[in-house]
Structure 1
């Protein structure tokens, strides 16, 4: 009898190159804090720590970062002015806008998303409050890692220039096909949407195309987003859809023709009241590290609409929405997920897709036409 020995050194995967991050903030305290945090992560390296947007624009080609954490308010050249110049010099640069939670900065962050920023993150008002600082740290690291996943897959990333033997070890993994379910035979009476990173852009594109659905049915949205930002998002959704859209109010009656957005910092559920349904907000602990979270909305809706629910999971980090989506499918409803190619981060929709609960996994531009058909009676 012979025994074949396998060399682990010959088959072990090569570690990917660390993500190169450029930190741009005029506060020496914030710059130092972020740089220390990121520098302690094994898969991240701080490529530069700069004081102004002008320094970033002048040095971005030399520094060659994968990701920039860009403050909004800076001397010489502010973040919103620096953003297009940075992207012009490095087209595939991922930019995360960082700002304090003010209405002005929320508006600027939304403008930055339309100009090509990948995401935003609210800075704590005081770094001396340990819980706020720790939340900021967790969120920033997670955003860098998830957004950086696309960078690592890009052939232009540094590891593409590794030796041929190393590149062979990084061949894409073969993934199992995603199982699809049939759409429910019950006619949907409500549209529920969950989204996170990349969600604001996706939502505004979507609501502009589903007017026939909104006119006849209520639309409820949970987007991972802090207070003030959700206020601005609701205003943008109203303009994009030309329909009423607002942050949900505890106890208000849910009506067709309206878009209800979970307010930042509060979970949104629905509950039955007589023959109708009302909004129920709560200040409970984060769920899936999020507040608001998608799962409470999805799961609670079953009490009101049973299996007549259409749920949509759009781009975002993590797996929020999958557990609630499973509940909806078990009750007889349907789930659609955005596809990987059009998602900024294929975390939430990917988790739902791989859980086998989706009746369709579609590019963003195909979701609205599909929803209009389904809400008009098409069951395929």
Structure 2
């Protein structure tokens, strides 16, 4: 694969230097130029044709948001990693950027020496660039082949059948041979007889855009709570909840410690904390508990942490959903949910921004349903209604 060509766009010379120096130390990356504002960036995109931008959000003449809108409106094959400030305004603009299709974002360090800030940027940016490199190679290799696995039947019948019947593989229109899914372990499951009473979702890179497309398709017919872990730092999850709430018929909010689960409410784990489900004081209701427990899989919040609590409190009546994102967070928790009778839905590789988090549940065989992004809401509904 050719080197990833990157254009550095920032109105601050300090951050242009920091990002430029970090990128030069990442293998297979070529910095093809820089720009001090969005307007200059557009002219250099046209001439340099970068694969990726590192893009400041707030700049004179033309903001990073306006650059992304131009890229989207003109179908320019360039993606972006946003550089954001840890402020309310910065987080709101970052969520908008991600919904417009930015690949991911990092926070600008706001204190420390030049060397310390360069290390912080390197620690945050390097895995994102490496994930982009893998995804770019992946896209070139696999764009012509698709597979969808669905449970036999529809609605409630499909829910019970999904746990007991063999999965069927539906190939693309060209009837290409699809490699069978690897099943390297047998998971003994609790037989389920009832629809799901809760939906748990784990998601990371590409999440805000995916959620903005999927969640408006969910309607009050569900009548169950939804709990979500989106890998994000503090402040950003609150902005994500606010943005999604404006788009959805369900209420979307950042979760609060101690509040009871409510039907048709989406609770997003606050950034920088862990979220789990616990029994209420009466022993019958279920509440949210926000903790400062350590990161898991380098993630805080962690999908594994949340999924384990769902497995414990909703035996035989939960749906676990794993969507686009880097890493493998969620896999172990989903295995526990599966053993306790949950239905597992995974986003397929072709519709993921990064095919990381769904990969292990799919390849290990615990995913009951594997569908593209646009079908996830429908499959969630089938497990409930």
When normalised by structure 2's length, the TM-score is: 0.82
Distance in 1 between the 2:129 and 2:221 partners? 36
- Is 2:203 aligned against 1:192? no
Counterpart of 1:162 in structure 2 is none
Distance in 2 between residues matched to 1:183 and 1:228, nearest whole Å? 39
**Partner of residue 39, structure 1:** 24
Match of 1:11 in 2: none
Query: Is the alpha carbon distance of 1:86 and 1:209 closer, same or farther for their aligned partners in structure 2, counting shifts above 3 Å?
Result: closer
Question: Is 1:358 aligned to residue 367 of structure 2?
Answer: yes
Q: Does the 8 Å CA contact 2:322/2:346 hold for their aligned counterparts?
A: yes
Contact 1:38 1:46 in 2 (8 A): yes
Q: Summarize the Cα distance change of 1:110–1:355 in structure 2 as closer, same or farther, 3 Å threshold.
A: same
Q: Which residue does 1:92 correspond to in 2?
A: 77
In structure 2, C-alpha distance between the alignment counterparts of 1:316 and 1:121, rounded to whole Å: 15
Give the match's secondary structure for 2:358.
helix
- 270-279 vs 83-92, which moves further: 83-92
Report how far residue 318 of structure 1 moved: 0.9
The answer as to 2:94 corresponding to 1:109 is yes
Determine which of 53, 58, 72 is the counterpart of 2:57: 72
Q: Does 1:238 align with 2:268?
A: no
CA RMSD of aligned residues (A): 2.5
CA–CA distance in 2 between the matches of 1:271 and 1:375?
A: 21
**Could you say if the C-alpha distance between residues 130 and 302 of structure 1 is closer, same or farther in structure 2, counting changes exceeding 3 Å?**
farther
- Report the counterpart of residue 375 of structure 1 in structure 2: 384
Shift of 1:231: 0.8
Distance 1:184 1:238 in 2: 35
Q: Hey, what does 2:48 align to over in structure 1?
A: 63
* Partner of residue 148 from structure 1, selected from 133, 140, 155: 133
How much does 1:312 deviate?
0.2
8 A Cα contact 1:322 1:352, kept in partner: yes
Q: Does 1:202 align with 2:210?
A: yes
Which of residues 177, 182, 188 is equivalent to 2:180?
177
CA deviation digits over 1:313-334, x for unaligned, max 9? 0111111111111111122212
Q: Which runs of 5+ in 2 are unaligned?
A: 142-176
Determine if contact 1:66/1:151 at 8 Å carries over to the other structure: no
Write the distance in 2 (CA, Å) between the matches of 1:146 and 1:186: 40
The CA deviation at 1:177 is: 2.2
By how many angstroms is 1:355 displaced? 2.2
Q: Which sits farther off after the overlay, 234-243 or 309-318? A: 234-243
Deviation digits for residues 180-238 of structure 1 (CA, Å, limit 9, x no counterpart): 89996342111000111111122222221221454x21110010112221111112222
- Aligned match of 2:337: 328
Q: Which residue of 1 aligns with 2:261?
A: 254
Larger-Rg structure: 1
Residue 137 of structure 1 pairs with residue 122 of structure 2 = yes
Are positions 1:126 and 2:111 aligned together? Answer: yes
The question of whether the paired residues in 2 share the 8 Å contact of 1:213 and 1:371 is answered with no
- Secondary structure (helix, strand or coil) at the match of 2:290 reads strand
* Stretch of structure 1 that moved more, 300-309 or 113-122: 113-122
Superposed displacement of residue 24, structure 1:
0.8
SS in 2 for 1:55: helix
**Range that drifts further, 176-185 or 258-267:** 176-185
SS of 1:178 mapped into structure 2: coil
Moved over 6 A (4+): 129-132, 180-183
Structure 2 CA distance for partners of 1:231 and 1:252, relative to 1, 3 Å:
same
On the 8 A contact 2:190/2:340 being kept in 1, the answer is no
Partner of 1:218: 225
**With CA pairs under 8 Å and 6+ residues apart, which has the higher RCO, 1 or 2?**
2
